[in-house]
Amino acid sequence: MSGHSKWSTIKHKKAAKDAKRGKLFSKLIKEITVAAKIGGGDINANPRLRTAVNTAKSNSVPNENIDRAIKKGTGELEGVDYEEIQYEGYGPGGAAVLIQAMTDNRNRTVSEVRHLFSKFGGNMGENGCVAWMFQKRGVITVEKAAADEEKLMEVALEAGAEDISEQDDGFEVATTPDAFDAVKEALDAAGIETTSASVSMVPDNVVDLSGSSAESTLKLLDELEDHDDIQDVACNMDISQEELERIEAAG
């Protein structure tokens, strides 16, 4: 898969260590509600809802919370009316940033996102300025200790994966959005434990960052990820492992 971005690896590590489970639950529930609103409450007929529910279950969201979110989306229960918005811009080092948000107050969210870009030396852009650099892909990560590479390739490719690439500390399985659920289910059935699995925007190419640009970009992305209205952040930055370790050590 071309354009592997270091940000995706960093995000997965951050999510694994993130103690703010309540915030994670909130974002997962919001996605379920919107998916059910757009495509209906039947997970068998609504691929987006099926993916959202499976992701929520893999993150230990209680079934009753999932059921309630679906009913809010279909209108069976009263709930907040969320609007999906995409924001685009550039980080302080020139890396492209693509943001998926869900909000009940468009003016509030755009103001806060613009403030974060400015705070860290980036620039919020017009719609379409960076979206063309990304494609929607299923991304599943597996630690090297969790699977034999040959078995992983056999199971994943047979289930419909597009590509398997070796990363610093594991493997990354890439799929089309339509094949994502089948590949994830095949890995689960084969006893291959995954460290993360999501349908995300993946960049076609990357921008190498180092020094203060890398540090500021990481801070920007971290705060965007932490925003209540933001569901997902994609970035085409790449940082060497040595540089990343230096930044993490500096705290």
- Please state the length of the chain: 251
Q: How sure is the predictor about 115, in pLDDT bands with cuts at 50, 70 and 90?
A: very high
CATH number, residue 222: 3.30.70.980
Do 150 and 195 lie in one domain? The reply is yes
As to burial, measured by CB atoms within 10 angstroms (0-12 exposed, 13-18 middle, 19+ buried), residue 56 is buried
Structural domain contains residue 146:
yes
pLDDT value of position 70: 96
- CB contact at 8 A, 118 and 216: no
As to burial, measured by CB atoms within 10 angstroms (0-12 exposed, 13-18 middle, 19+ buried), residue 54 is middle
Do 27 and 140 lie in one domain? The reply is no
- pLDDT tens string 29-48: 999 999 999 999 999 999 99
Structural domain contains residue 100:
yes
pLDDT value of position 251: 66
Structural domain contains residue 244:
no
Task: With residue 200 as reference, give the H or E element that holds it.
Answer: strand 196-203
Q: For residues 152 and 141, what is the distance between their CA atoms, to the nearest angstrom? A: 11
Q: Which domain holds residue 66?
A: 6-74
> What dihedral angle (degrees, nearest 10) is formed by the CA atoms of 155, 159, 160, 166?
-20
pLDDT, greater one: 69 or 13: 69
pLDDT value of position 111: 97
Structural domain contains residue 247:
no
Q: What average pLDDT is seen over the chain?
A: 88
pLDDT value of position 31: 94
Do 179 and 189 lie in one domain? The reply is yes
pLDDT value of position 180: 92
- pLDDT tens string 125-147: 999 999 999 999 998 989 888 88
Do 59 and 105 lie in one domain? The reply is no
pLDDT value of position 187: 93
pLDDT value of position 37: 94
Do 125 and 137 lie in one domain? The reply is no
